[in-house]
Amino acid sequence: MSHEQQAGRSTAVVKSWLSEPMSHEVRMAVERIARADDVVRVAVMPDVHLAYGVCVGSVIATRRLVYPPAVGSDIGCGMLAIGIDAGADLLRRSRTAERLLEALPRAAPPMRHRNLESAPGLPMGLCADALSDASLARDAFREGRIELGTLGRGNHFVEFQADDEERLWLMIHSGSRHMGQAIHDRHVAGATRAAGGLCVLDSETAAGQAYLADVAWARAYADANRREMLRAIADVLETRFGVRVVADTLISVDHNHVQREVHDGEALWIHRKGAMSAREDEPGVIPGSMGTHSFHVTGRGCAESLHSCSHGAGRRLSRNDARQRIGPQRLIKQLDGVWFDRRLAARLCEEAPSAYKDVDAVFRAQRELTRITRRLRPVLVYKGV
């Protein structure tokens, strides 16, 4: 159910779909962005939680100005899901699961390939020279190549899942790696400060156009990054286990971006930070956590939410709080029935299921935003540390 409020001195309308009350800190952050220059609408998703500058789980609409903090530094971070021509019983035996867990860090390295020679080249159409700045082009030529097809740390993951018919699926969550951060930092350095202290660029200036072009590049890079990991993992599945991915089941979406969209007849810049586009019948992927269900969805095209929905369950505890409150044994108990590398338990506590909101409550809060088409339970999880 949505809630509406007038945001301070601004004409921006804030609408929210909440699974639990907003904390004071989150409310203050939402009100700050709603009062910012040129912001006309704000939609708050049920997975909202505090982050630097602008909360994760926020959708911001402007007419002319663009706000890099409302996109974040992991530009194009998103989800890829694909079916596998095998049942979940493939991973029933511990030895099979162990073999797969051993192979995944090589197929999808957590941070980078060993060197440029072992790294894939940038895909066709993703030219480093297309970036707006020579330093970014140099980053793309080296870091962009050496990190393409790598997972990253934090909440990024590779997960094998079973649907309600016990069919096996693969889900990958990752983003634009070093390139997104470099693009964000480069443009924030040249941005001006709007009301409330947020960095802002004018979309009708050369600087604003350069940022938007680089965002598009980073989104394409992030998508290519996920697809390169898919290619490598698919090769492992076929060569070691004799099973294949099913190409026509692929879903690929991102949830950190800014793009021009028309809403109620008006062209607006729609910023989504930890929020997914959910136009009518648009496919999407919403993960839960390491030990809880994830979902394939389609959008309902809710105009009030700026055609958006949550991108996940959303954090309940900060990473620091989770590390202090959740020990390795508690994590292992919460992941009962899910294969993962238990040797890493002490380093994965911040990603424990109890560090996240109840994903079922999140879906109840956004039932007018999205519909569930498939529910999946985790079978095997790999996270980079």
Burial 279-311 (b: 16+ CB within 10 A, else e): eeebebbbbbbbbbbbbbbbbbebebbbbbbbb
Q: What whole-number distance in Å separates Cα of residue 338 and Cα of residue 134?
A: 45
Q: How many CB atoms lie within 10 A of CB 332?
A: 15
Which letter does DSSP use for residue 33 in this model? Answer: H
Q: Which residue has the tokens 């999808």?
A: 108
Burial 179-213 (b: 16+ CB within 10 A, else e): bbbbbbebbbeebeebebebbbbbbeeebbebbbe
Q: What whole-number distance in Å separates Cα of residue 224 and Cα of residue 236?
A: 19
Closest CA to 178 of 131, 124, 230: 131
Q: Which two tokens mark 206?
A: 């050369």
Sign of the four-CA dihedral 118, 119, 122, 124: positive
Angstrom distances, CA of residue 86 to CA of 1, 91, 271: 39, 10, 38
Q: Is 311 considered catalytic here?
A: yes
Closest CA to 257 of 301, 214, 291: 214
Q: What whole-number distance in Å separates Cα of residue 2 and Cα of residue 294?
A: 23
Q: Which of 173, 271, 307, 311 is catalytic?
A: 311
Please list the residues that pair with 315 across neighbouring strands: 356
Q: What whole-number distance in Å separates Cα of residue 98 and Cα of residue 79?
A: 24
Burial 243-275 (b: 16+ CB within 10 A, else e): eebeeebebbbbbbbbeeeeeeeeebbbbbbbb
Cite the active site residues.
311
